[in-house]
A = this chain, B = another copy of it.
Amino acid sequence: MDAGTWIVESRRLIDQWILDDVAGMGSEKGSVEEAMQYSLTAGGKRVRPQLVLAGGAYVGIEPDRLKPAALAVEYLHTYSLIHDDLPAMDNDDMRRGRPTSHKVFGEATAILAGDALLTEAFVKMAELYDLGFPASGVVKAMGTLAYKAGRQGLVRGQIQDLASERQEISVKALQEIHEKKTGALFEASLTIPAQLVGDDQAAFELGRFGRHFGLAFQMVDDILNVVGDAARLGKATGTDAGLGKATYPRLVGIKTARSLLSEHVREALAGLDPARAGLLDGLLRFAAERTW
């Protein structure tokens, strides 16, 4: 199967898993589940759960057995979007063409929906034990997810991002923000399957791949915000410049940004075992060349 087909099919599978899982939660009016469901079914690309499945393919785990981990990383990602959009943070009214959570449910419920999604990620992770993975692998994977989501990962990225607005920052500082905000969860998503089966070498290789994939992915986002087609992207372009956000195109120009992107693609692939790198290679090239 080529990467393009795999992306479409795995996304369909992940969307179905999410629909099934939120249906099981119930979502009566005014409940936190209603707000969780709203954001989970807003039509994301599902890149992080796809990375879980692709990391699984690298170490020989069937997709179905990774369902709880795939849900966990998407729930964790969705929590971070809801909190990032809050008035006190980026103050975004729209996300993926729909009003943001706090616009629909109010700030209190949006904060709590984020809290509940973050917590639910660990409920899901614990379920991996029931699917027959060794408990030691599950503990490691849970620890990795928490570490990469927390004060040394995602949370740090967001606090540094907020601090950098309307500031002149260095390329190095920008890279650190992206490493935390995007790279950390990409890395965790890819590492988790290897940790589940206790394959330390693969965990190392996949972690390195994930870090560079995350940076490449974020760079494409930055570039598309300048040169992309708003209709195809499903969101406005030029917004980063308007907000005075530090981005690669702004700091080094489009041309250098593109060459940095190629470098991360090369670096990402360099550490993988070529014999089983096919899907990961395809996914990365697809992401690097996307126009949406």
Whether A88 and B116, one on each chain, are in contact in the complex, defined by CB atoms closer than 8 angstroms, is: no
Quick one: given A136-B129, A140-B126, are A119 and B150 in contact (CB under 8 Å)?
A: yes
Judged by a CB distance under 8 angstroms, whether A104 is at the interface is no
Whether A123 and B146, one on each chain, are in contact in the complex, defined by CB atoms closer than 8 angstroms, is: yes
Chain A contact residues: helix, strand, loop or mixed: helix
Smallest beta-carbon distance A152→chain B, Å: 9
Whether B119 and A149, one on each chain, are in contact in the complex, defined by CB atoms closer than 8 angstroms, is: yes
Whether A143 and B126, one on each chain, are in contact in the complex, defined by CB atoms closer than 8 angstroms, is: yes
Q: Which of A139-161 contact B (CB under 8 A)?
A: 139-140, 142-143, 145-147, 149-151, 155-156, 158-159
Judged by a CB distance under 8 angstroms, whether A163 is at the interface is yes
> What would 27 A/B residue contacts be, using CB atoms closer than 8 Å?
A32-B156, A33-B151, A83-B111, A83-B112, A86-B111, A88-B106, A88-B111, A89-B108, A112-B158, A115-B115, A115-B118, A116-B151, A116-B155, A119-B146, A119-B151, A122-B122, A122-B145, A123-B143, A123-B150, A125-B142, A125-B146, A126-B140, A126-B143, A126-B146, A129-B139, A135-B138, A139-B139
Whether B120 and A150, one on each chain, are in contact in the complex, defined by CB atoms closer than 8 angstroms, is: yes
How far apart are the CA atoms of A118 and B111 in the complex, in Å?
Answer: 13
How far apart are the CA atoms of A122 and B163 in the complex, in Å?
Answer: 26
Which residues of chain A have a CB within 8 Å of any CB of chain B? Answer: 25, 30-33, 36, 79, 83, 86, 88-89, 106-109, 111-112, 114-116, 118-123, 125-127, 129, 134-136, 138-140, 142-143, 145-147, 149-151, 155-156, 158-159, 162-163
Whether B159 and A139, one on each chain, are in contact in the complex, defined by CB atoms closer than 8 angstroms, is: no
Task: Please name all residues of chain B whose beta carbon is closer than 8 Å to the beta carbon of A114 when the two chains form the complex.
Answer: 115
Whether A119 and B118, one on each chain, are in contact in the complex, defined by CB atoms closer than 8 angstroms, is: yes
Task: Please name all residues of chain B whose beta carbon is closer than 8 Å to the beta carbon of A86 when the two chains form the complex.
Answer: 108, 111
Task: Please name all residues of chain B whose beta carbon is closer than 8 Å to the beta carbon of A32 when the two chains form the complex.
Answer: 151, 155-156, 159
Between A86, A109, A119, the greatest number of chain B beta carbons within 10 A of the residue's beta carbon is seen for A119
Smallest beta-carbon distance A106→chain B, Å: 7
How far apart are the CA atoms of A122 and B121 in the complex, in Å?
Answer: 11
